[in-house]
Each structure stands twice: as structure tokens, then as C-alpha cells.
Amino acid sequence: MRYFPDSDACWLGGPGAAQVAAARLVGTTGTPVPDALAADHADAAVRLGVGAGAAVVALELDPDDDLGPEGFRLTRTPQGVAVAAASERGLVYGYHRLLTTGLDAAPLGEHRPSAPIRMLDDWDNLSAAEHLGSVERGFSGPSILFADGAMVADLSRLRDYGRLMASLGLNALCLNNVNVHDAGTHLIADMLPDVARAAAVLRDYGVTTYLAANFAAPITLGDLTTADPLDPGVRAWWAEACARVYAAVPDFGGFVVKADSEGRPGPFTYGRTHADGANMLAAALAPFGGTVFWRCFVYDCRQDWRDRSTDRARAAADHFQPLDGAFADNVVLQVKYGPIDFQAREAISPLLTTLRDTNVVIELQVTQEYTGQQKHVCYLGELWAEVLGFRIGRDADGGPSLGALVAGPAGARTGFAAVSNVGAGEFWTGHPFAQANLYAYGRLAWDPGLDPADILREWIAATYDLDAEASADLEAILLGSWATYEAYSAPLGVGFMVEPGHHYGPNVDGYEYSLWGTYHFADRDGIGVDRTVATGSGMTGLYTPEVAARYETLEACPDEYLLFFHHVPYGHVLHSGRTVIQHIYDSHFAGVEAVEAMRGSWAALRGALPARVVAEVDARLDEQLRCAVEWRDQINTYFFRKSGVPDAHGRLIHA
Ligand code: BDP
């Protein structure tokens, strides 16, 4: 009885999908039903044995409709529900949205995406021997696309992924890791027939294919001795490379590039700017309508904090702000939401508040590298809603939201990119509940104003067939789980404190004396990073003056960002009225208690879920509790020993 073949615990295998699959699919006003929909649906209908007389899903394609290139309208009809759109893409998104909600709960009305770019970046390597396994920072099993240096022959898993993306209106997928190693470089050369195979699958679901490109490909592939972006030979090489790619995939989207970062090659080698590098690739793609996503995650990972200018949180803005306006129209700067690296809590990237004449996408991390690696429940919809709701004004309520800014003016190439969390494991996302993060990303990219609690309820209803009480238990487990993770990990926005390399579990000084630039500066007197203009790295000065004023002084800075921006004594009193040291103790005890409460809700819910989901979640919740206790004890013991200040409530085992 499963419509969605790879799991019966996924929102496209849930109650809504079964309801829609039992309907008859027709194209009205002479519209043929798009091939992919007809094939999928026919298959499901045959398996479900439903024929004439069933409810109808009518697909209406009207190019003159004003729904825009990707929008759709859902209307109830006497026989069922009609999906109307001006393009096939809109029809595909609308139909799959309906599969998610079912006919009874169909969100009637018009739906248009907030921004034109809604992308997922897979960090899949060609082979498991490459950097950090087959999926870099992947916690959901092997790659669905690549194995042993080649693309897999059977792309049915990619087809299902395409369906998942279509149900969220996600419209772009970069197939390979941004760290393009030697094998990955071949995707734009001898592996183009494989790229064309993947693109053909994704096209059916309204998803455009992109590739991460190695800036040094002209050298790596053995053709040239330089990758200098201003060298005519290099420019000609990329022009020919693009011609080959577009001959294989005429609707190819373009390249994602990580340059001059963490060992990747880039324009700095040749004394060129990032505008020189990005514009060179943009020129090669322009004749074909392609786009370059140029990542701003550029910093020197081999330098300590030598002086204020080497604060890693400054790097992206220092490199890219002076280049605002210097990029070609088909360059999009891809900016991580925070200036350091996808932490559970960090300040907004200054670049996102100040770039005015450049296309920008905000980059989020769905894969839970720093938020529990899909062993911990950590619903990131709440983090992202907070980030996207951030107001670029004098106070928390003023000015446009970041979500509105990245949606951009009509016609601009702007929007959202995110590192995906899927793999070939049965539940797609390792932890079955981490699907909620993929779902929330897609929904927020479509509409950044959505309430993350509503999104979560949608995902629950679409995925599991639960009564009201069981749904409430599942909601209780997920909602607030981001705050819980934050409570038992690094305090007050200071970040990191993770095991070096794999980034799982606590290690307070793991990176403190290395060259990676992620420090907490804790000593016997205090903790935190002084990034003020007055006495610190001056990083606050990289924001607009209105935003800077919200962080520059201790009086103004919100507690949750205090140690990101300021170095303070342990006895410093927070706006909450507690001292920093007591906050550290209290939040770590509270974090563990919240995980224990999660286990209480889980005990009540277990019986209502499929056995395989239960087995997965049981094991992961045990691990989450073990790890939360480890965080609590390491952090609290460390800061008790550093500060000598006892816990006001006498809870410390070493006190
Ligand atoms: C860091 C990851 C690393 C990525 C890098 C990036 O640890 O694996 O390559 O981000 O975004 O968070 O390029």
C-alpha cells in the first residue's frame, strides 16, 4: 500500500499521499498530464487498485495564468481538487504539495515562492575514500548518487529525492561536494553522460542540476599549467568546458564554487580577486544562461588570532564587502547565515546585512554537523525562522527581515541554499525525525514568513497517521529541541567546544590552541570573544550602523550573543539577572532535564509508530541523553575549575 517506495515513514508515503494516489489524475482543457506525474500516479493507482469513480485530481495548465513561472493554485471541485499553473513546473510542485497534504487538507488558494532560487547542495563525494567519507558531513548512510568513483546505475533513489524536493518546491540541486577533489572534477569532463542521466531524472520534478566545480580544473584535468582567471587560455578552457556541459545537459544550472578556503584552490594564488574568479566563470556560463554560486566561506584556516584583523568572523565581510557591485549579473554570492560556521547559535553574517548591489543566497546547513549529527533530535526550523526573521534595523522590530532581503527584488537571482541531510539510509535522514529539518528548509525557502511550529505540525500530519495525543507527543519532542541542544552545548553564542575533526560531542579546548580561528578565550577571570570596535576585533563595525549598535555594548547585546561579541568576567550579570557562570551551570542542567522530558514524551508515543521507526529512535535518544550528560559534565566541571565559583545550588559533582 505504499506510494513512496523507499520508506513508509516519509511525508510522501504518509496518509495524504495514499489519499491522492487513490484519486484519478486527469489533464483538463486539453492539457496532457506531464509524463512524470502520469507515470508515478498510474503506478500507484494500479497498486492501489483504484479505478473509475474515485476522486479526481485535475491538472490545469494555462500559460496565460498570472501565477508566475513556479506558482500554482489549488481549488476544490465537486469531484476532488484541481491544480492550476502557468508552467509544468508549477503543476509538478502543486501536485506534489497535494501528495503531502492529501485532498481533505489541501491548502486551497494561490501559492508562489518567495524567491527564485531554492537550492539544495549535496556534499556527496565520488568515492568513500575521499575527504570525510562518501558524504561529507553526512549522517544518513552512503551517497544516493555515487559509489566507487562512479555514478550509481540505478537512479531510482534520486527519483524519489526529486519527488521530495518537488513536494517542497525546491528547484535546484548541486550533485557533488563543494570540496571538489580529483574524482569529482571529472563530472564536468568524461562523466558528463552521467550528469545528463541525473539531470533527466531531476527535470521531471522541476529540479535544475548544478555541479560543484574545482577552480583548478584546467590544471587538475591535465590540460593547462595555470588556473589564473585573467589568463586568456584559462578563459577559453572554461568556455569550452561549458560548451561541453551544455551540449550534454541543455538546461544545466551552473556551478557552485568553494575557492581559497580550507585548502581549495582559488584566485588568490594568482593575485586576483574573488570578483575576477567568479566573473571569469560567469562569462563562460553566460552564453548558456548559467549561474555561478560563489561561496563567501573564505578565510585563512592556518592562522591564529594574531591581531584584530585576523578574527575569522571578519573574513567573509573583509573579502567580499569591498567587491559589492563588482560581480556579473549571473554570479550569486552564497553566504553562510553566520560569520563562523553553522553553529547552533551565532550572530548573523554582516555580509547579509550590507551587500546591496550583488545577488545573494543565504546558506543554511540542514545536515546536523554541529547540532547533534542526526543522533540528537534538533529541530532547526526554529533556528532558521529566527535567522530569517532577523530585522536589519535599529532594534529587533525595525527594518526589513533577512528573509525579505534574501528574497530580493523581482528578477534578481536571490534566495536560499542549504547543505542537504539525505543519504541512502532507509529513513533518508538517519534519524527519522531529522526529516522535519529537510521539510522545514523547503517550506521556509518557499515562504520565510511561515511559523516553524506550523511547519512541524504539517510534517507530522503528512508523515505519520497519529491521533491528536500522539501528534502532540511528537510535537513536544521536536519543538524546542534546538533550544535544548543550545542549552547543553557551548554557552551564550561562543560556539564550537566540539571534538576536532568530526565535530561531535564536547571538547572545550579542542580547537582553543589550534589555527582554525574558533576560540572562546576562557581563562581564570572570564570568557568570550571581544569583537567590539572599541576594544576588540572591530567585527561589529562590519554591520550596518543600526545593527552594530545592537551588539557593540554590553548594555545592548542580547544574552544569547553575549560571548560571541564580548569577553566578560564570570561574575558579569546577564539581562536575565543571572551571572554568566551561574547561567552556564543552570543551562547545562536544564538541557539534560529537557532531554529526559523528551524521553518521557517518547515513551508515550512509541506504541503509535512503526516498529522500524521506533527501533531507530530508541537508539538515538539513548545516545542523545548520554551525550547531553557528557556535555553538561565537561562544560560545568571545566568552568568550575577555571573560575573556582561554586554552583549556587550545589549540584556539581566535583565541587
Ligand atoms: C564546515 C565543514 C566542512 C565543509 C565546510 C564548508 O566542517 O566539512 O567543507 O564547512 O562549508 O562546516 O565548506
Q: Which protein residue's CA is at the shortest distance from atom 10 of ligand 1?
A: 341
Share of the chain above pLDDT 90, in %: 84
* 179 Cβ inside 6 Å of ligand 1: yes
Q: What are phi and psi of 279, to 5 degrees?
A: -65, -30
- State the greatest distance between any 2 C-alpha atoms of the chain, in Å, as a whole number: 78
C-alpha cell at 204: 521531471
List C-alpha distances in Å: 348 to 314, 360, 363, 383, 420.
12, 14, 12, 12, 21
C-alpha cell at 96: 506534489
Q: In the chain, what are the helix, strand and coil shares in percent, each to the nearest 5?
A: 40, 10, 45
DSSP label of 75: E
pLDDT tens, residue by residue, 428-460: 999 999 999 999 999 999 999 999 999 999 999
- Which of the following is catalytic: 204, 363, 369, 616? 369
Residue 48: what pLDDT? Answer: 43
Q: How far is the CA of 485 from the centre of ligand 1 (A)?
A: 20
382 an active-site residue? no
Q: Which protein residue's CA is at the shortest distance from atom 11 of ligand 1?
A: 297
- Predicted complex ipTM: 0.99
CATH superfamily label, 486-529+567-643: Alpha-glucuronidase, C-terminal domain (3.90.1330.10)
- Which of the following is catalytic: 60, 160, 341, 560? 341
Determine which helix (DSSP H) or strand (DSSP E) holds 84, and give its type and residue range: strand 80-85
Q: Which atom of ligand 1 is nearest to the CA of 419?
A: 11
Residue 8: what pLDDT? Answer: 57
Residue 127: what pLDDT? Answer: 87
Domain extents in the chain:
10-111, 117-463, 486-529+567-643
- Other Cβ atoms less than 10 A from the Cβ of 77: the count is 12
Q: Which atom of ligand 1 is nearest to the CA of 342?
A: 12
616 an active-site residue? no
CA distance 239 to 261: 24
The answer to whether the Cα torsion of 387, 445, 368, 331 is positive or negative is negative
Tell me the residue type at 646.
P
Q: How far is the CA of 526 from the centre of ligand 1 (A)?
A: 29
List C-alpha distances in Å: 448 to 53, 113, 242, 407, 444.
39, 9, 34, 9, 4
- CATH classification (class only), 117-463: alpha beta
Q: How far is the CA of 362 from the centre of ligand 1 (A)?
A: 15
* 124 Cβ inside 6 Å of ligand 1: no
Q: How far is the CA of 44 from the centre of ligand 1 (A)?
A: 40
CA distance 456 to 454: 5
> Is residue 179 within 8 Å of 264, Cβ to Cβ?
yes
Q: How far is the CA of 509 from the centre of ligand 1 (A)?
A: 20
Three-state DSSP at 17 gives helix
Question: Is 117-463 the same fold as 10-111?
Answer: no
DSSP label of 300: -
Candidate of 341, 342, 361 to mutate for ligand 1, largest count of ligand atoms within 8 Å of Cβ: 341
- DSSP alpha helices (H): ranges in 179-331? 182-185, 192-203, 217-220, 232-248, 274-285, 312-320
**Could you give the count of Cα atoms lying within 13 Å of 189 in the half-sphere of its Cβ?**
16
**Could you give the count of Cα atoms lying within 13 Å of 336 in the half-sphere of its Cβ?**
24
The CA-to-CA distance between both ends of the chain, in Å, stands at 58
Three-state DSSP at 348 gives coil
136 an active-site residue? no
Tell me the residue type at 476.
A
* 264 Cβ inside 6 Å of ligand 1: no
Low-confidence residues in the chain, pLDDT < 70: 1-8, 29-32, 35-36, 38-53, 654-655
> Is residue 474 within 8 Å of 411, Cβ to Cβ?
no
* 511 Cβ inside 6 Å of ligand 1: no
* 121 Cβ inside 6 Å of ligand 1: no
Q: Cell match 558531513: residue?
A: 137
Q: What is the reported pTM?
A: 0.96
Residue 43: what pLDDT? Answer: 52
Task: Return the exposure string of 192-205: e unless at least 16 CB atoms fall within 10 Å of the residue's CB, then b.
Answer: bebbbbbbebbbbb
Residue 409: what pLDDT? Answer: 79
CA distance 351 to 299: 14
Residue 49: what pLDDT? Answer: 43
CA distance 76 to 286: 43
* 346 Cβ inside 6 Å of ligand 1: no
Candidate of 297, 335, 342 to mutate for ligand 1, largest count of ligand atoms within 8 Å of Cβ: 297
DSSP label of 572: P
Q: Cell match 512503526: residue?
A: 610
C-alpha cell at 326: 563588482
CA distance 259 to 274: 8
Q: What angle do CA 454, 421, 455 make, to 5 degrees?
A: 5
> Is residue 636 within 8 Å of 585, Cβ to Cβ?
yes
- Which of the following is catalytic: 262, 276, 447, 647? 262
DSSP label of 8: S
Q: How far is the CA of 222 from the centre of ligand 1 (A)?
A: 27
Q: How far is the CA of 260 from the centre of ligand 1 (A)?
A: 13
DSSP label of 647: P
Q: Which atom of ligand 1 is nearest to the CA of 261?
A: 13
Q: Which protein residue's CA is at the shortest distance from atom 12 of ligand 1?
A: 341
Residue 40: what pLDDT? Answer: 65
DSSP label of 394: S
CA distance 340 to 311: 10
Q: How far is the CA of 341 from the centre of ligand 1 (A)?
A: 8
Q: How many residues are there in the chain?
A: 655
* 519 Cβ inside 6 Å of ligand 1: no
CA distance 368 to 503: 10
> Is residue 628 within 8 Å of 591, Cβ to Cβ?
yes
Q: Which atom of ligand 1 is nearest to the CA of 503?
A: 7
The pairing of strands 172-174 and 109-111 is unpaired
DSSP string, 576-609: TSSBHHHHHHHHHHHHHHHHHHHHHHHHHHGGGS
Residue 211: what pLDDT? Answer: 98
Q: What are phi and psi of 551, to 5 degrees?
A: -120, -25
Residue 46: what pLDDT? Answer: 40
- What residues are paired with 60 via a beta bridge? 84
- CATH classification (class only), 10-111: alpha beta
Cβ-proximal residues to 293 (8 Å cutoff; 6+ apart), any chain: 119, 174, 210, 254, 255, 256, 257, 332, 334, 361, 417
List C-alpha distances in Å: 22 to 106, 193, 223, 363, 589.
15, 37, 55, 38, 50
Tell me the residue type at 491.
P
Three-state DSSP at 486 gives helix
Inter-axis angle of helices 481-488 and 580-605, to 10 degrees?
140
